Structure 1
Amino acid sequence: MKKCENKMNSNFFNRELSWLEFNERVLEEACDTNSNPVLERIKFISIVSSNLDEFFMVRVASLFDQILAGFNEPDMGGFAPAEQIGLISTRTHKMVNDQYICYNRSLLACLKKEKIFFVKPKELNEKQKLYIENLYYKTIFPVLTPMVVDRSRPFPLILNKSLNVALLLENKEDENEPIFGMVQVPSVLERLVELPSKENEKHFILLEDIIKMYIETLFTGHNIITMACYRITRNTDQGLDEEEAEDLLEAIQQFIKKRKWGMVIRLEIEYGMSEELLGILTDELEVPKEGIYEIKGPLDLTFLMKVYSLPGFVDLKYPVYRPQPIPKLEAEGDMFDAISKGDILLHHPYHSFDPVTELVKQAANDPKVLAIKQTLYRVSGNSPIVEALAQAAENGKQVTVLVELKARFDEQNNIIWAKRLEMAGCHVIYGLVGLKTHCKILLIVRMEDDGIKRYVHMSTGNYNDITAKFYTDIGLLTADPYFGSDASNLFNMLSGYSRLTKMYKLDVAPVGLRQKFISLIRQEANYARSGKKARIVAKLNSLVDEGIINELYEASKAGVEIDLLVRGICCLKPGIKELSENINVKSIVGRFLEHSRVYYFHNDGEEQLYLSSADWMGRNLDRRVEILFPIEDKGIVSNIKDMLKTYLKDTAKSRVLDKDGNYRHANRRGKAVMNSQEYFCKQAIKQAQAFLNDKIDKELE
């Protein structure tokens, strides 16, 4: 975000431009030749593309919806929807141009040095040509569907994010009116086609290039005047009327189908596409002029994740890191015994996610376990937790699962899991009308010798065994009866009409979480005004909420020292005299996706530390079910404080936000290079090894 892109009379950065600056930091990682191996850079540049897809489908689409509805009110940064679209267009066009400069000038050259080649048709040798010809006629040709537009055949429905080849055919009846034709590049086939090559080399060609080589076989008898690839992005946020939906499951399924024909928000075209071909596409698709992107390279670089996933080439990636076991759990044979002895901290991906999965599996087969209750927001494609819950129900346990069907772009996946759980005998809840259930909580009810005991797992991240390997999140395992009581009350509220009348330790949105945060911030401000030390440290993904930001400004003016670790969007302007001069904002973008939410308040020396599923965004505080839970074990409090200190010392992957909206690398002058994520990896390995050594020593005694 540059200075000219923000209205200087506003105390807030624009949300959309701030998000684009986050994606710019991801792009910087793709361009970083010093600390990132080439295949890691490939991964980052692919993420830039997938991020932009979702940004256009949801955020830019929402702005167009506002314009169509006649809504012209400025956002808290001072920009009306039309102004925002103009600024976004300028910023994203530059970003995409920079992205392809990085790809064409740097990444391709680096891949060539490693004997990985992307081959164009004119560069094929005879053996490769023969291989492609055989592949085309045996595998590709039968799948293709050529289409033309004429009086009897209207312009076809173009699927969201599909890659297509558009062409003009010579019209023998009227040479001044060429015929428009197109072929969708089939998504059922691998886009990245490996070719025969020399030993120790990898040669690839893109599927669309093969189709273009043989395009005449699809339009026999017609001369092809011109052709080029294009891709569209549609508005996928079509709106869901939950109040009118008799069956939420069916409503979600219809909602997914509607995404296929939302308004076209963006049109990406191959560099050099003819004006006539472009004119037909823009007219038929009704693309706004600021939504046209001419691309100097392959459209949609998300295919590069396939390159990243190539077997071998370990020297072209970060050193392999295997999540470590947790000593406290390893010391006990039984997880319930281990948790009973004291709260246990889990820090993913540095710690393995396996204990969470194993806890559900153990509960499913433990005759003492009576009930399991869990929320699921985003789970993996082959989730062991879902299978364990299904097994528990089949074993006769009382199993209640809240599956959030409205988790954007995971709806279809969650529908499949919901049906699987229902068939197994689980009681499945589909969330609350008007609210997304975003909290991450697991409750296990067990009959023990001295009566009923409840075991609880709470986390800042999803119950997803795949993302737990590259998202940083923090979880807590506890048998504290007050947490158990609160968890029961929460699930009763989610499954029925119970009100959260008495909660001992949890704060829950949308009931009282906003007020809790405001109270905690004001408490620090009051300490500062009375001349006492006052400090707030918050680590979160996004800071957008105007009310919370204003509270932080007031705290800063009172003298509270505030450090914010905000990975993504930050609408707060730091460092402004007499407003936010006591606020520092850092963003860390590195090997792992920072995802944990941690909130620390000095509280006149009686420190308060919380973990949460919630960011400081209006949607988290007012329109979602979220939890905030305190960390009370002194050892765990100390551990998390050390984590925050390490993050704040990061000089390798952190950027500092200034008052004009620019993110600059942390000042390394006179400081040792500190990569917080690498530090946590080494620390987890060291702790696990120390435990193993102690165990061996005891066995030898």
Structure 2
Amino acid sequence: MLGVKKYINRDLSWVEFNRRVLEEAEDVSTPLLERFSFLSIVSSNLDEFVSVRVAGLQEQRKVGYSNTDFTGYTPQGLIKRLTKRTLRIVRQQYKVYRELLRQISKEGVLISSFRDLNDEQKQLMKDYFLDIIFPVLTPMAVDVSRPFPLVHSKELYLAVVLQPEGIAEDAIEKRVCAIVQVPSILPRAVQVPGRKNVRRMTYVLLEEIIKEHISLLFSGYTLEVVHAFRVTRNSDLTLNEEGADDLLQEIEKELRRRRRGLPVRLEVEKNIHPHALELLKEELEMQEDDDLVEIDGPLDLTFLSRFANSLPGFEHLRYPKIEPVYPQEFEEADDMLSVVREKDVLVYHPYESFEVVNDFITEAASDPDVLAIKMTMYRVNANSVLIRALTGAAESGKQVTVVVELKARFDEERNIAWARQLENAGCHVVYGLVGLKTHAKITLVVRRESGSLRRYVHVGTGNYNENTARLYTDVGIFTCDPDIGADASALFNEMTGYSTPHDWRMFAVAPVGLKPMLFDLIDREIANARKGLPAQIIAKMNSLSNKSMIDKLYEASQAGVKIELIVRGVCCLRPGVPELSENIRVISIVDRYLEHARIIAVAAGGTDEVYISSADWMTRNLNRRVELLCPVNDIQLRKNLLNLLNINIRDNVKARELHPRGAYIRVTNEDAPLRSQFALADIDLWKLTSN
């Protein structure tokens, strides 16, 4: 196809993913309060993208790095393209925001400007300011004796321009500036008390209340203008792991440095005062035009999700509830381990409850015949049942080993706290391998039975986090297969000790063996296609950006292998290009849940093999992380996962198909409407139990 590059740029592909999230906020068929939540996700996604990916590109630009990546972009050229596309998304986001405000007002919920309140409401808000807000505000003057304060990343601030009282308004040289942080500890949307029996609910944004009364902080000065601003800093950690005496202390040191990371983006209110803008740009050293974003509306829409979820009632404006069910295989059992001794069990969250994982580890922790529990921990929720179970197990004398990944981005502080709590309880805590993140999701339970030991294993595609397990789609398998158990023991020995890479029986483990294993699977499908045998690959993942993996898939396509890819986010592969990728189809599903499972199925000449994994097909996952690929050995479970994948593939409501020129177009066909995330809520539809 003329004029089409072989690869799609990773960062531009991410922008297109965030555009698909924005489309869910635009979609009138999405319940109204859920549309607010999608707008919030667009903002939080963009925050992380800017603080990590854009920050890295800016660093390359500063040092004059001008080489092109494998998609043909230099850092300088890519930043310009990204700026243009992200600004377009932000403008559309605020257009949608204004429309959603109109829609929610019809339901009796109003986010009002302060000036539109009546006198009684204004007085109530003044009382709220004096009683609740004023005591926590800290005005920070900027002058010769008081230098510009540290502005925290992604926090909301007000830039206040003042003049001493009695000075002529045009005495520019007497103008001064101060900074006030909008306290994030208070609700961003403040409800205005209303009259009894009046159904309308009115809210005012916190910064508007502060703006209206901010002169009370500056006696002796006349307020000229006040505008909001927000800074995003470089949040990527730079660790010297090999030179560190203590990794935990090194990460704590880097977290302190993160607060002072170089500014990457400055967001300001539209029509901000030139004096305030110049001060901000000078003090934050924002020299490039693409570092500045002018916003026509309230800065930082991440508050919308909490706002929408906190509104009482309004169930008709939310998705219908889908309560996770407890897996049928364990429902009637006296103990879980006896079930796993009989057969492997597949669970699919959020349709099946994460309580089953909590119960598995809690039961093992209290079982007197369990000798050891070992597990990996990447992102864990607050008040985790698992943490309590592990600490209890250690205190009762069991050998408890936890591989805590301290470098899980933006969860570092929480993971440090868990590590210390576990260590204090007597657990053996390991921080992973130098230079690698531990991203594998696995738990091993060793139990004494009839004079010998039996190993029970849980392998999953998602984190051990019961909160995200309600929001993300992930699969997990419970098994006591001896070969998988042996591999699990070897994996933990490798992560905690000095074991050399293992000769795996079942697993493939990154950074050494996972990519070669995937290549072997694809090569076998290529050979089968050339022999005229069934040859197909179905792969579901979050992201696909590794060049050599893409090239291998291109090779398979050219050999006649039929390839179906379900890639939620970044995809650098360009499907449907004649003589390159005409046998490859790529879809992305963006819906109420975050698609997070990693599943690979190959035809294997007609016998079908299925694997689950913790790894996306990205360079970082394949080369710089401890990742795990595990086969699904039970024939019935393989069929269940194939059913699940095929339902995804047939989605013609929320699926978008990636076209050769890089655009994602909603899937439309003559089939009956199929919305895969809603269809999969009917567990009997895909999870066929064996006789």
Pairwise same-fold verdict (TM > 0.5): yes
SS in 2 for 1:361: helix
Matches within 5 A, 1:111-126: 111-126=104-119
> Residues 51 and 684 of structure 1: is their aligned pair in 2 closer, same or farther, counting only changes over 3 Å?
farther
Give, in angstroms, the shift of residue 532 of structure 1. 2.6
Distance apart, 1:511 and its partner CA: 1.6
What secondary structure does 1:261 align onto? coil
The answer to whether 1:271 aligns with 2:270 is yes
The Cα shift of 1:289 comes to: 1.1
Contact 1:39 1:307 in 2 (8 A): no
Hey, what's the Cα distance between the residues in 2 that align with 1:329 and 1:685?
A: 19
* Shift, 1:501, TM fit: 2.6
- CA-CA distance at 1:297 after TM superposition: 1.1
Amino acid at match of 1:123: D
Q: Deviations over 1:537-560 (max 9, x none)?
A: 100000000000000001111111
Once the two structures are superposed, residues 363-390 of structure 1 have per-residue CA deviations (whole angstroms, 9 ceiling, x without a partner) of: 1111010000000000001111111101
- Cα deviation digits, residues 249-270 of structure 1 (max 9, x gap): 1111111111111111111111
Corresponding residue SS for 1:373 = strand
Deviation, 1:315, is 1.5
Partner amino acid, structure 2, of 1:71: Y
Report the alpha carbon displacement of residue 684 of structure 1 after superposing the two structures with TM. Answer: 5.5
Partners of 2:574 and 2:503 in 1: how far apart? 38
Q: How far apart in 2 are the matches of 1:11 and 1:313?
A: 48
Amino acid at match of 1:13: I
Match of 1:184 among 164, 181, 185: 181
Q: CA deviation at 1:9?
A: 5.8
1:226-237 pair list within 5 angstroms? 226-237=225-236
Q: Counterpart of 1:524? A: 525
Question: Residue 309 of structure 2 aligns with which residue?
Answer: 309
Instruction: Tell me the secondary structure at the aligned position of residue 498 of structure 1.
Output: coil
* Alpha-carbon separation, structure 1, partners of 2:107 and 2:239: 49
Mapping 1:61-460, distance limit 5 Å: 61-104=55-98, 106-171=99-164, 172=167, 175-177=171-173, 178-198=175-195, 199-287=198-286, 288-310=288-310, 311-460=312-461
Deviation digits for residues 322-379 of structure 1 (CA, Å, limit 9, x no counterpart): 1011111113211010100100000000111111000111111110100000000000
SS across alignment from 2:259: helix
What residue in structure 2 maps to residue 679 of structure 1? 679
Q: Are residues 1:577 and 2:578 paired?
A: yes
Distance 1:379-1:196 versus aligned 2 partners, 3 A rule: same
Residue pairs, 1:523-542, within 5 angstroms: 523-542=524-543
Counterpart position of 1:698: none
3-state SS of the aligned residue for 2:544? coil
After superposition, give the CA deviation of every residue in 1:367-416 in whole Å (9 maximum; x if it has no partner): 01000000000000111111110111011110000010000000001011
Matched, 1:48 2:42: yes
Q: Displacement of 1:442 after TM fit?
A: 0.2
CA distance in 1, matches of 2:65, 2:527: 40
Q: Residue 479 in 1 paired to residue 480 in 2?
A: yes
Asked if residue 16 in structure 1 is aligned to residue 11 in structure 2, the reply is yes
What is the DSSP-based 3-state SS (H/G/I as helix, E as strand, rest coil) of the residue aligned with 2:302? helix
Q: Give the drift of 1:70.
A: 3.0
* Structure 2 match to 1:699: none
Following TM superposition, by how much is the alpha carbon of 1:18 offset from its aligned partner in structure 2, in angstroms? 0.1
Equivalents in 2 of 1:240, 1:111: separation in Å?
Answer: 46
Gapped regions of structure 1 (runs ≥ 5): 695-701
> In the alignment, residue 212 of structure 2 is paired with which amino acid?
M
Q: CA contact under 8 A between 1:166 and 1:227: conserved in structure 2?
A: yes
1:164-208: CA deviations, max 9, x gaps?
110211254992221111211111222221111243222111111
Give 1:588 deviation, angstroms. 0.2
Secondary structure of the corresponding residue to residue 214 of structure 1: helix
Partners in 1 of 2:289 and 2:387 — Cα distance? 46
Report deviation, 1:274.
2.3
**Separation in 1, partners of 2:96, 2:245:** 50
Indicate how the Cα distance of structure 1 residues 625 and 666 shifts in structure 2: closer, same or farther if over 3 A, else same.
Answer: same
What are the superposed Cα offsets for residues 196-238 of structure 1, whole Å, 9 maximum, x if unpaired?
Answer: 1243222111111011011111111111222210111011114
Structure 1 counterpart SS, 2:51:
helix
Deviations 1:427-477 (A, max 9, x none): 000111100000000000000125110000000000001100110000000
**Is this contact kept in 2: 1:350–1:684, CA < 8 A?**
no
- How far has the Cα of 1:531 moved from its partner? 2.8
TM-score, with length taken from structure 1 = 0.95
How far residue 605 of structure 1 moved from its aligned partner, in angstroms, is 1.1
Q: Could you give the per-residue CA deviations for residues 641-673 of structure 1, whole angstroms, max 9, x where no partner exists? A: 1111100000111000001110000023x2211
TM-fit CA distance, 1:152:
1.1
Matched residues in 2 for 1:452 and 1:236: separation?
46
| CA positional deviation for 1:422 | 0.5
Q: Distance in 1 between matches of 2:584 and 2:306?
A: 41
Aligned residues: 683
In 1, the alpha carbon distance for the partners of 2:28 and 2:137 equals: 40
Q: Contact between 1:39 and 1:316, CA under 8 Å: does it hold in 2?
A: yes
- 3-state SS, counterpart of residue 553 of structure 1: helix
Give the secondary structure class of the aligned counterpart of 1:187. coil
In the alignment, the residues of structure 2 paired with residue 503 and residue 200 of structure 1 have an alpha-carbon distance, to the nearest angstrom, of 64
Q: Does the aligned pair in 2 maintain the 1:327–1:687 contact within 8 Å?
A: no
Identify the residue that residue 628 of structure 1 maps to in structure 2: 629
Residue 32 of structure 1 is matched in structure 2 by 27
Q: 1:238 to 1:501 in 2, by over 3 A?
A: closer
Judge conservation of contact 2:26–2:35 (CA < 8 Å) in 1: yes
Distance 1:641 1:387, change over 3 A: same
Point out where structure 2 has 5 or more consecutive residues left out of the alignment.
Answer: none
Letter in 1 for 2:145: S
How many Å apart are 1:284 and its aligned residue? 1.6
CA distance in 2, matches of 1:26, 1:469: 19
